[in-house]
Amino acid sequence: MSDIIISKALNNNVIIADHSDYGEVVIIGKGIGFNRKKHDVLYDANVEKLFVLKNEKEQKNYIKLLPYLEDDLQRVIISAIELIKSRTESSLNEHIHVALTDHLMFTVARVSQGMEIRNPFLIETQALYPREYGIAKEVMHLFSKESNIHLPEGEAGFIALHIHSAITNKELSEVNLHSQLVTKLVQTVEEQLKIVIDKNSIDYMRLVRHLRFAIERVKAGEKVEEPEIITALLKEEYPLCYNLSWKLIKIMQQTLKKPVFDAEAVYITMHLQRLQKKMK
């Protein structure tokens, strides 16, 4: 059993404490700092539902946000992260406390000023990360219920990316890059095939998810086998889709700065051919 001794209560929801296992920590939880005094002891049973920031950089960055963060808004954001944690049933990267708090503070300020918030990657994000998107919609409902703040539709996409980043331990910048890359690839397909893809169709979902997993394979350097007979057949039967698949691969290589294995062209061509056939 760990000893947790309070050093200082920063506000009603945040305390600095000395943890016998982790040293100095920042502990976040609704009402955790209320009526707490220096040298008070926190017991493990009380800490189960709290968030402990062990990383020194994350601690400092979170503390920097506090002067700009109203208690009511902080409580809702803590509830939101509790909800995300319970829905994903996984340990979240500590950075979500800083990144999502900072993002939601900024969003709430803009909404209160009547500013429009647009998300050009909303549809792609929904297709790429359906589970995270569903949780993000729950977070928006929570905001509406607990604080009467109605977040705009595009926020579901932004929150979903934060959730995906925290679950997978990927930098948010990398998650954003992948989302934007998929958008660019889909736009290239539409331009080259002279079609408008129905973003609610199953074919669109399949294409986007295939591109997502192709990007992840490239990042991991994971090779897929190349079926040579099929390659020759596709090249001959569907030259437009085959050439387009190589255009997409070049865009992926330039963006990700990593080589893409030739076999990816085969699988992308098959998706493109299916799309083109449906559009005719």
In order of start, what are the domains of the chain with their CATH numbers?
1-54 (2.30.24.10), 71-170 (1.10.1790.10), 173-279 (1.10.1790.10)
Q: pLDDT digit string (tens) for 99-141?
A: 999 999 999 999 999 998 899 999 999 999 999 999 999 999 9
| Among 29-33, 103-107, 163-167, 185-189, the least confident range | 29-33
The yes-or-no verdict on residue 1 having pLDDT over 70 is no
pLDDT value for 47:
64
Q: What is the tens place of the pLDDT at every residue in 35-72?
A: 888 888 887 545 667 899 999 999 999 999 999 999 99
95: number of Cβ within 10 Å: 20
Listed range (165-174, 187-196, 231-240) with the worst mean pLDDT: 231-240
pLDDT for 227 beyond 80: no
